Amino acid sequence: MKRGIMDEINLKAEATKALEKAYSPYSKFKVGAAVLTESGNLFTGCNVENVSYGLSICAERTAITRAVANEGPGMKLREVYVANCNEHGVSIPCSPCGACRQFIAEFATPATRIHYTGENGDVTTSMSDLLPDGFTF
């Protein structure tokens, strides 16, 4: 969906809205992600669990998959925001998992910014800091 260039606060709000749709009956841990593409489009996603945990999908990968499905294989990420809450509705420090880091890296540029909740509030980092020496061709 076309939204134009969004600032970090709006991305956080979109990620937070997305986490409310999460299906997390096993972990009770909701995650939402909002991605802004280089084309200026916003896509959101949430985690969807499965009783066979390996079949679960993270919010970041859901949002990025939606972006690729809409923009095609040349899609590039400008920003990624990840929000979460535990079963008590409290956001806790949590960076993207390893699989999501590699998935984000596939579509990131050197300028892509990634935001998530850290020990002392929101963290903003680059792809190279989030996944140093990531697997690439």
- Would you tell me how many other CB atoms lie within 10 Å of the CB of residue 35? 30
| pLDDT values of the chain reduced to their tens digit, one per residue, 137 residues | 444 455 667 999 999 999 999 999 999 999 999 999 999 999 999 999 999 999 999 999 999 999 999 999 999 999 999 999 999 999 999 999 999 999 999 999 999 999 999 999 999 999 999 999 888 77
CATH of domain 8-130: 3.40.140.10
**What is the predicted pLDDT for the residue at 1?**
42
The full set of domain ranges for the chain reads 8-130
Q: Residues 14, 49, 60, 79: which is the catalytic one?
A: 60
Helix (H, G, I), strand (E, B) or coil at 104: helix
63, with CB counted inside 10 A (0-12, 13-18, 19+), is buried
**What is the predicted pLDDT for the residue at 8?**
63
Is 87 one of the catalytic residues? Answer: no
Alpha helix stretches (DSSP H) within the chain: 8-19, 59-71, 98-107, 127-130
Tell me how far CA of residue 114 lies from CA of 21, 46, 52, 78, 126, in angstroms: 21, 16, 29, 9, 6
**What is the predicted pLDDT for the residue at 75?**
98
